[in-house]
Structure 1
Amino acid sequence: MKGKIEEAFDYLYAEVIIHYTDIPKRLLDTDSDGNVIVDLDVFTNRIDGSERREPKTGWTIDKDKGSRPHGGSAWKLKNFKGKRVATLDKKEKYLGSRFK
């Protein structure tokens, strides 16, 4: 029972995050466990060094350059206006947002 509750919570959490941050669905995928993740493979246009853009939406990802990333942070997700909207871990999973 506990596993099913955790699965339901993870699914609902991901759905709320998607709607709250307005992440375009074309940037999303699911991992092998069924968790909603941001698909880094769609960011094909290299802007500079570690920053890449998804050509159709204009959203970008930038590798977290800190030597000791806080809380597992590996990527910064920015909307088409360049505003940071989310932080992602190495497995492309949404970690949170305090940028709204």
Structure 2
Amino acid sequence: MLSYQEAIKKLEELSTFISLVDNYPIKSVEDLIIQQYAIYNSISKVIRHLTVTKNIHHSKITPLYIKSIILSKPTTQLHSMVRKEYLKKTRPQRRRTKISD
């Protein structure tokens, strides 16, 4: 259970995140990828969305390309948040890879 103060802090963080996603300026395909990953939290869903909804069929839109965009040096607050959560989400997988090497 969260304390009252922790809940308020979490609510503020989530409100900021929602506002950033809703108002994210799309100037390039990379910006669109960051925004869509923030919405779906899934590389495969981002690819599906870009090909079906946005009708973007480009050979460079691959899981590896999207991963490289997410892991690149953040240029915006939303990109920074997305990168941080992606690293947190994939941490167990990255640890397993290190151990097996």
User: TM-score, length-normalised on structure 1?
Assistant: 0.39
Instruction: Name the structure where strand makes up a greater proportion of residues.
Output: 1
Instruction: Name the structure where helix makes up a greater proportion of residues.
Output: 2
